[in-house]
Amino acid sequence: MSRVHNSALSAAVAAANARKPGPSRSLRVAIFGFGTVGSSVARILVESEPRGLTLTHIFNRDIARKRVDWVPAGVVWSGDADVVLTSDVDVIVELAGGLDPAGSWVRRALETGKSVVTANKKLIAYHGIDLERLAAAKGGHLKYGAAVAGGIPVIPGLEQGMAGDRIERLEGILNGTCNFILSKMEEGAEYSAVLAEAQKRGYAEADPTEDVGGFDARAKLAILMRLALRQQVDPDEIAPRSIITITPVDFSYARDLGCTIRQVSRAQQVDGGLAAAVGPMLVALRSPLAWSQGTENMVIVNGHYGGDVVFSGHGAGGHPTAVAVVSDLLALAHGSQRVEIPSAPARLGAEFEVPHYIRFMVKDRPGIVAAITTALANEQINIRAIVQKPGYPADALPFVVTVEPCKSSALQRALHSIRGMDCMLVEPLDLQMLE
């Protein structure tokens, strides 16, 4: 008998053979990677016993140290990926992450007609299109609702509830680690202290570059750009900005401007071209982006017909991510096909034109403001405000210039001449201001 997950056709044939509606038999599920998310997925499958799903295999390296007593006795624990991939499981739940070896496991599963549910944003961002084609060719399915914003149903919302709209803009807080760090810094803490706390709580890796550098967020942004804007971009084209240059001084100045600072991922059609950016940005305290606290995630999509829709919740962590995984498994068990949103390869070719916040740190001397404003004027950049808060020493004086909407490239040319000035103690910090 055909496996029920093999396309609508074989699913229907299998259902007809079984002469009953709905899931005709349970999908056999193998979990690849028994870490935080993997054990949460197993926990939900064991506790909730959702109809149509049976956990049959758990794969992890050094499997012996992973074994737990609350998993039913019939489940096969294996340290050998080949054994599980060549077994009779219907679906591989890939939670190992990274491009390799996770990518090769996913490929091998799809090649043999199995379906795959994954939370692997990197794999989907770089190879999602190819893997979807492979799945379609072999009669399996690839689902990745957990790859972006974990427990928040952004991907099902886009595919099933907003496919009828034309999305023109999207903004998101897509990395819980950065949001935890920045919302803690908002309360006055230093970056290094908060990072240490995040590492202690398990919110940040020992090497935090993937998160704080914006690489994790840009992979998620690339996935959302495909589903929302219908544009396939190479994630490497999006140059992320790190949050490590943000200081408590910036939160103080931001607040005076009615703003706070968040790591924002955004993309938009601008003047016929496509613009995308990931990095710390000033967001108005009254805007939804400022609502996200701690490890929360948020996605805002703006539709031509439907206007702004906001999704918010717990984007990461074992349980919320596991909810997305189990929901994908249930959709497979119910034969729910994805609504395929057509997309086309695209290149980034446009820039956002937005106000910017520029924070300087100088050894004070006469003529600094004149030199800076001249450099900006030379690039036709209009100054909105110059703000200097009292209470800082003259030999390490932070002050802020905000400018009217301008392109980053023009601002970078101006900053190029400014950063050569002998009074500049550190690289000037420029941030987009979202209004």
Active-site residue list: 220
For the chain, the distance separating the N- and C-terminal CA atoms, rounded to the nearest angstrom, is 58
Contact, 98 vs 72, CB < 8 A?
Answer: no
- Counting contacts by CB under 8 A, is residue 163 touching its own copies? yes
- Counting contacts by CB under 8 A, is residue 120 touching its own copies? no
Write the CA distances from 65 to 29, 60, 72, integer angstroms: 21, 9, 17
Which two three-digit tokens encode residue 161?
């509830």
Question: Applying CB under 8 A, which of residues 27, 38, 40, 402 lies at the interface with its own copies?
Answer: 40
User: Could you give the string, one character per residue 142-161, with x where binding to its own copies holds by CB under 8 A and - elsewhere?
Assistant: ---x----xxxxxxxxxxxx
Q: Which is nearer to its own copies, 44 or 431 (CB)?
A: 44
Q: Please give the Cα distance from 241 to 234 (Å, whole number).
A: 17
Min separation Cβ 145 and its own copies, Å? 6
- Counting contacts by CB under 8 A, is residue 25 touching its own copies? no
Min separation Cβ 296 and its own copies, Å? 9
Q: Which stretch binds its own copies (CB under 8 A): 88-96, 126-134, 249-257, 308-316?
A: 308-316
Identify residues 340-379 at the interface with its own copies (CB under 8 A). Answer: 340, 342
Contact, 379 vs 416, CB < 8 A?
Answer: no
Report which secondary-structure segment, H or E, holds 194: helix 191-200
Q: Please give the Cα distance from 40 to 19 (Å, whole number).
A: 34
Size of the site for its own copies (CB under 8 A): 68
- Counting contacts by CB under 8 A, is residue 314 touching its own copies? yes
Q: Which is nearer to its own copies, 239 or 339 (CB)?
A: 339
Q: Please give the Cα distance from 310 to 47 (Å, whole number).
A: 31
- Counting contacts by CB under 8 A, is residue 230 touching its own copies? no
Q: How far is CA 76 from the centre of its chain?
A: 32
Min separation Cβ 159 and its own copies, Å? 8
In terms of Cα–Cα distance, which of 227, 258, 260, 261 is closest to 241?
261
Q: Please give the Cα distance from 60 to 88 (Å, whole number).
A: 18
- Counting contacts by CB under 8 A, is residue 166 touching its own copies? yes
Residues forming the site for its own copies (CB under 8 A): 7-13, 15-16, 21-22, 40, 44, 48, 50-51, 136, 145, 150-166, 288, 291, 303, 305-314, 319-320, 322-331, 334-340, 342
